[in-house]
Amino acid sequence: MNHCQCFQIYFAGGVAGAGTGVEPGWFGSRSTWLGQTPLCLAGLPPGRRGFTLQKNGYQSIGLALDIAANHTNSVSTNLVSGVYLSAMKLARQHLAATNYDAALAALKPVLAADPTDADALALQREARGQQAIQTARLAGARNDYLTGIKVLETALQSLPDNEEAKGLLADFKKRAPDQTARENAGRLNRPQTEFDTWMSAETDSSLFESHELKTSKSCKVVEEAIRDTLANGNPPFKITHDDSPKPELFDFEAEQELMTYMNTSAGKRRCVIIVGQTKDDETKILFKVFEYKTEAVNKFSIGNLIGTPHRGELCADSSFQDDHDRRLECPAGRRRANHQCPDSTGHRTALNHG
């Protein structure tokens, strides 16, 4: 959208001419249309004359010209696109109504046509700056001063002399240390709080032991390693719950079917794992393994006598022994140690961490 077109008016000895330079435009004097540019008018009497230059899609402009005999004059001006004027007017209206997204959207076609347009760039800076100040106010209302500081610094890049932004920034910087302390405390306790919430809903939780590991690896790295380990176990765990309820926090629940040598159910193993970032260089893993064995409904059946019940019910068992070691691998640093942690059944679970 080229919103400006240049043209020249020139006079020589009482002769007036007009042209837009690119496309024809209408040239008139008061209410009389004189013709379409480029146009040359001869025999004009000397004196000051008023003319109008008009072109479809552009704003009409009036010209006051001094006609002199035997004298040549020249003048140049810009025709402003009507689309440009409408877009700029709409942007100003949205800006006044504090609808900054709409103001920026209205300016897009103007700046796409001419990225150097000074008026449009000034409106864009104002809209972006005020939008950031608006966002900072909302952040302050919810006591999120750290976010507010970031957006206010952005606002001052657009509006370096804005007093409101300067005042808010100074206030937020005073309040930010208390927010950081609260967030660090919440971050430190978040995994344990999540784990306790899970366990409060588990009927058999008190029968099984809880375990805790710490690693210098990030929460995301540990989460991916645990998911891979569960899926590739022998036999594999079926992940029944996989969620990130809060930032830097992951919840897992998985089940593993246990079989006898005659391919009947020996029971199942279920684990709940909570992974949470407690510090920038520390991730905590909290988990509990629930193990159940199958007890035959018919205590005197042959299957029960040889340890392979065909029909039975699952019962929590603190003495149930599995034929295979369980290994939960948590890559966690340069050094690796192998901790044998007894689980609720007396069996020892290998936990690799660093």
Which CATH number goes with the domain that contains 72? 2.60.40
Q: Does some domain include residue 293?
A: yes
Residues 60 and 126 in one domain: no
Is 332 buried (19+), middle (13-18) or exposed (0-12) by CB count in 10 A?
buried
Count the domains in the chain: 3
Q: With bands split at pLDDT 50, 70 and 90, how would you rate the model's confidence at 40? A: low
Q: pLDDT of 302-346, one tens digit each?
A: 444 445 454 444 455 554 434 333 433 333 333 333 333 333 333
Q: Model's pTM, two decimal places?
A: 0.48
Angle at which helix 118-141 crosses helix 145-158, to 10 degrees, equals: 170
- Helices within 201-325 (DSSP H only): 219-231, 302-305
Task: Name the nearest CA neighbour of 249 among 281, 232, 214, 273.
Answer: 273
Residues 245 and 339 in one domain: yes
CB 135 within 8 A of CB 127: no
* End position of a domain, from candidates 36, 57, 80: 80
- Amino acid 261: pLDDT: 66
Q: pLDDT of 234-260, one tens digit each?
A: 888 999 999 998 889 999 999 988 776
Residues 243 and 316 in one domain: yes
Task: Name the nearest CA neighbour of 37 among 13, 5, 64.
Answer: 5
Residues in Cβ contact with 56 at an 8 Å cutoff, skipping those fewer than 6 apart: none
Q: pLDDT of 147-181, one tens digit each?
A: 999 999 999 999 999 999 999 999 999 999 999 88
Q: Does some domain include residue 142?
A: yes
Measured distance CA(92)–CA(97) in Å, rounded: 9
* End position of a domain, from candidates 80, 115, 139: 80
Measured distance CA(261)–CA(292) in Å, rounded: 17
CB 59 within 8 A of CB 77: no
Query: Which phi and psi angles does 114 have, rounded to 5°?
Result: -145, 90
Residues 254 and 147 in one domain: no
Residues 169 and 97 in one domain: yes
Strands 327-329 and 348-353: parallel
Q: Does some domain include residue 237?
A: yes
Residues in Cβ contact with 332 at an 8 Å cutoff, skipping those fewer than 6 apart: 213, 214, 215, 216, 217, 222, 283, 353, 354
Q: Does some domain include residue 281?
A: yes
Residues 120 and 88 in one domain: yes
Residues 224 and 343 in one domain: yes
| Joined tokens for residue 158 | 């657009």
CB 205 within 8 A of CB 199: yes
pLDDT over threshold 90, residue 108: yes
Structural domain boundaries, residue 344:
202-353
| Joined tokens for residue 298 | 């018919």
Residues 310 and 247 in one domain: yes
Q: Does some domain include residue 307?
A: yes
Measured distance CA(251)–CA(195) in Å, rounded: 9
Task: Name the nearest CA neighbour of 246 among 178, 193, 177, 176.
Answer: 193
- Amino acid 334: pLDDT: 30
Measured distance CA(120)–CA(114) in Å, rounded: 9
Residues 122 and 64 in one domain: no
Q: Does some domain include residue 183?
A: no
Residues of the chain with pLDDT > 70: what percent?
A: 61
Residues 218 and 345 in one domain: yes
The order of strands in the sheet holding 16-19 is 39-41, 16-19, 6-11, 74-78
Residues 216 and 334 in one domain: yes
Dihedral sign from CA coordinates of 200, 201, 203, 205: negative
DSSP string, 65-89: EEE-TT---EEEEEPPBHHHHHHHH
Which CATH number goes with the domain that contains 108? 1.25.40
| Joined tokens for residue 336 | 């690796």
Q: Does some domain include residue 284?
A: yes
Residues 323 and 272 in one domain: yes
Q: Does some domain include residue 185?
A: no
Q: pLDDT of 184-193, one tens digit each?
A: 888 899 999 9
Q: pLDDT of 59-98, one tens digit each?
A: 666 667 777 776 655 556 566 576 788 889 999 999 999 9
